[in-house]
Structure 1
Amino acid sequence: MPAPALILHGGAGARRSRDYSREIVHMRSVVEAMRARLMDGVSALDVAVETTVLLEDSGLYVAGRGASPNLAGDYELDASLMDGATGRAGAVAAFQGYRNPIRAARAVMDQTPHVLLAGAGAARFAGEQGLEPIDDPGRWFTRAGQGEDNHPPGQGPALAHGTVGCCVLDRQGRLAAATSTGGVFGKMPGRVGDTPIPGAGVWATDRVAVSCTGQGEYFIRTAAAAQIHWRVEAGASIMEAGAAVIAGIGELGGDGGLIALDAAGHRADPFNSQGMKRAWLTPDGEIGVEVFGR
């Protein structure tokens, strides 16, 4: 069996005009913590959830506490995860009122026959599962009505975005992936992007694990996450597959990136935005962190 490996992202769309030193320190600390968990034999699926919770709770990324409100001033969050060993998936969309949408997605996977719950039904289910509510959104969300982290309010490009996610390979050779987001900035109420849609924003099989970040409409239109699997099955390397998918999104006019792992622990992290916040653990035990370098 391969040694464990992990890659996470804090979103594509990073801008060179910003200082990401806090995010760099945080991403490294998350990878270090999850390296210990993987070495203890924790499953890829559990580590994927734990990693995403740490990213959501930090308030440093456009997911969880760092989400930005929609045009109505409400916080609608999306999340999904997929277990490569079993093909199971769980997701929530337009999720309001509760912390950690990735925990809600895990509960959908484990406690229902469904893959995706949305809106009021997802919130009701979260309450029934005893998930932690958000009592005061104005104090919980760190952006509290601010605009996208890379652009002043009202001055960002169309579909300015941010997301977090991770791909994990555990000591038993199992793969899993998770993605969580606050969505694009200034979105219409009820808008749902690629993040909670298996095949678009997340995918995991026994061959690959994928998490996407960017203008979700383009990732949906290209089945971006599942495309990685298809290309690897056809003989491409994980890096070749990732590069081809992002190139195709760029040809349509889309912006973003993705992270991926294969069953040997090889990683891919292509993007066509200025930068993409990401960190990784190699099967050799090395940790890397990068925002703008390729």
Structure 2
Amino acid sequence: MTALILHGGAGARRERNYDAEVVHMREVVEAMRARLDAGDSALNVAVEAVAMLEASGLYVAGRGASPNLAQAYELDASLMDGSDQRAGAVAALQGFKSPIRTARAVMDRTPHVMLAGEGAALFAHDQGLEPIGDEAAWFTHAGQGEDNHPPTGLSHGTVGCCVLDAQGRLAAATSTGGVFGKMPGRVGDTPIPAAGTWADGRVAVSGTGQGEYFIRVAAAGQVAWRVGSGQALHEAAQGVIDQIGDLGGDGGLIALDRDGNIAHPFNSQGMKRAWLTAAGEIGVEVFGR
């Protein structure tokens, strides 16, 4: 049995058209289904799915990120392997095309979980990861806000993927450009295990939203801990989003358990997401619940 779910951010607004994102998310799911059918691991598939989302420029991550108040692009990402709970992350990474690939290298090639700022960039360079080069030519500047107007408050966007492979392993990966108009050096939930990303033997989770609130409730980890305490996946995921809403935050999350159940609650107008069920069915939604 295999399954996956991915998201392209919970900042969707009803006045915008997301046809291109819907088509792309389906393409990513189909490509990852082929990998799973060929026996690839949950971790590899989660990373490759997020790398495709980063490279598309359609979402507020990777190529589609927006600059901070100093007009610099600081990107965050993390991943977690549920089979042994290894994790890797980068925060405030500048100058490299794929934050999630850099986070994978941190996990695989260092004794650390997270590298940040200049240290993350030096590491990426030393590992031969692909640099951006000309930022003006690379970034698609999706950063005027999801509604194509100057953003207000903690407007946001993120991408992520949760995967269950044929060996029963779970993994999660998340990548973001952060909230729009953020202060230099701001880091949200995305690169923090248990806040924006989580995977263990029971559940994989990836969050998207106002990261400050996700950090405060340990959102991704809390879903798994609720499931471990006996809650159903949907109940656990919705309970965490409700808690974030009670604090005044918005966003959503995707979750997948070892039985192939999926959940994708959100309290924003919409959340771009797509999934492959254990029965082999593909679904794509932006605004439907």
Question: What TM-score range do you get, normalising by the shorter chain?
Answer: over 0.9
Q: Which residue identity is paired with 1:182?
A: G
Counterpart for residue 210 of structure 1 = 205
Q: Which residue identity is paired with 1:71?
A: L
Counterpart for residue 183 of structure 2 = 188
Q: Which residue identity is paired with 2:199?
A: A
Q: Is the 8 A contact 2:11 2:146 kept in 1?
A: no
List per-residue Cα deviations over 1:253-275 (Å, max 9, x = no partner).
00000000000010000000000
2:78 to 80, 83, 86: 80
Counterpart for residue 166 of structure 2 = 171
List per-residue Cα deviations over 1:220-264 (Å, max 9, x = no partner).
000000001110011101100000000000000000000000000
Counterpart for residue 238 of structure 1 = 233
2:220 is aligned with 1:225: yes
What is the CA–CA distance in structure 2 between the aligned matches of 1:120 and 1:98, rounded to whole Å?
12
What is the CA–CA distance in structure 1 between the aligned matches of 2:8 and 2:132, rounded to whole Å?
22
Q: Is the 8 A contact 2:13 2:146 kept in 1?
A: no
Counterpart for residue 279 of structure 1 = 274
Q: Secondary structure at the match of 2:273?
A: strand
What is the CA–CA distance in structure 1 between the aligned matches of 2:133 and 2:29, rounded to whole Å?
30
2:25 to 24, 27, 34: 27
Q: Is the 8 A contact 2:195 2:221 kept in 1?
A: yes
1:39 to 37, 42, 54: 37
Q: Is the 8 A contact 2:255 2:263 kept in 1?
A: yes
1:266 to 261, 272, 280: 261
Q: CA deviation at 1:150?
A: 2.3
Counterpart for residue 143 of structure 1 = 141
Q: CA deviation at 1:151?
A: 4.3
Q: Which residue identity is paired with 1:180?
A: S
List per-residue Cα deviations over 1:31-89 (Å, max 9, x = no partner).
00100100100000000110000000000000000000000000000000000001100
Q: CA deviation at 1:147?
A: 1.3
Q: CA deviation at 1:148?
A: 1.5
List per-residue Cα deviations over 1:190-248 (Å, max 9, x = no partner).
00000000000000000000000000000000000000111001110110000000000
What is the CA–CA distance in structure 2 between the aligned matches of 1:205 and 1:60, rounded to whole Å?
29
List per-residue Cα deviations over 1:130-189 (Å, max 9, x = no partner).
000111001100017x41122412xx2310000000000000000000000000000000
Q: CA deviation at 1:288?
A: 0.1
* Count of matched residue positions in the alignment of Structure 1 and Structure 2: 289
Q: CA deviation at 1:13?
A: 1.6
Identity of aligned residues (%): 73
Q: Which residue identity is paired with 2:230?
A: G
What is the CA–CA distance in structure 2 between the aligned matches of 1:95 and 1:238, rounded to whole Å?
33
Question: Could you state the TM-score of these two structures normalised by the residue count of structure 2?
Answer: 0.99
Q: Secondary structure at the match of 1:246?
A: helix
Q: Secondary structure at the match of 1:212?
A: strand
2:129 is aligned with 1:131: yes
2:48 to 24, 47, 50: 50
